[in-house]
Structure 1
């Protein structure tokens, strides 16, 4: 079974929490203090400049790295979206696309054909590409910015989304379930047959959902 979250992810979350709680406060405090001394002292030492500038570099480096990774993943997701469009079963509406940049997640709606595309790249460099229709979900739950999509897939029974547009996405899903779409195709089955192409395109595995 392909692991979406690697074993080190738990320790990364702990380190991230500690950085937000103590690291940011400490780096900002020392950065301001040392740079103030360096700028006001008539003859500041080289170490004062190094420590002052180094604190700000250490503060912004993690954000820069995360943004770079998220940007590269967004490019991969966009490449997959274009590949899915070529099937002819998905042409998202302009107001029906949601890209969760920092979560490397996309969900889009084709209201005319009644298809929904969900893509997410996980920390373990594993990518889910899931095709849904208006009747694929068992239920949806909204709790503030948290949206839970319960599916019929035993290997991925729940899709979590955290976004300010949680209510809007849920409203799209609810409205589609009442549109009375009729399908002559299985959208997710169409995408299953493209898994190898998508994996080759992005350089990461695409698990087949059961």
Structure 2
């Protein structure tokens, strides 16, 4: 029995090590099913608490994956609101679109674009969010600056990060945010799985 448990433990450790060292960015569509697995602390309930989506708002999501957050947030915006989603992989956007159609959600607008150069005018959004996506972007500072540009002056940005080798640690996020004209107003959760609320710094 002890021998079997040791083998199982070794196998689990090997699987974790393989995941850690082979995890790629952006997350490949071929493994999209993993993106629907709930992450501790980065729950939809906690996202609701920090994002505070309101009916009629226009909100931006970067890196929607398969739509776990998108399909939860979009209905909260109502018929007069809109959720724009941005991903560099068209396959991910198509996947979200199919799920949205199946669920009768019709206020999600897909945009195949690079987060370094967002295709939106200044001050377009009431809020924006990224869940386990910022650390996968090659130049997170540049993307934060773009998000700052696309937000309204009193807008809000929510960043959710989970512990993997791409994670932006809270201390790094604070530094990156300041360089992009943002400030970290609140942190929720432990450092290995946290949400941060960022606000634009007044010019």
TM-score by length of structure 2 reads 0.28
Higher relative CO (CA 8 A, sep ≥ 6), structure 1 or 2? Answer: 2
Name the one with the larger strand percent. Answer: 2
TM-score by length of structure 1 reads 0.27
Higher-Rg structure is 1
Name the one with the larger helix percent. Answer: 1
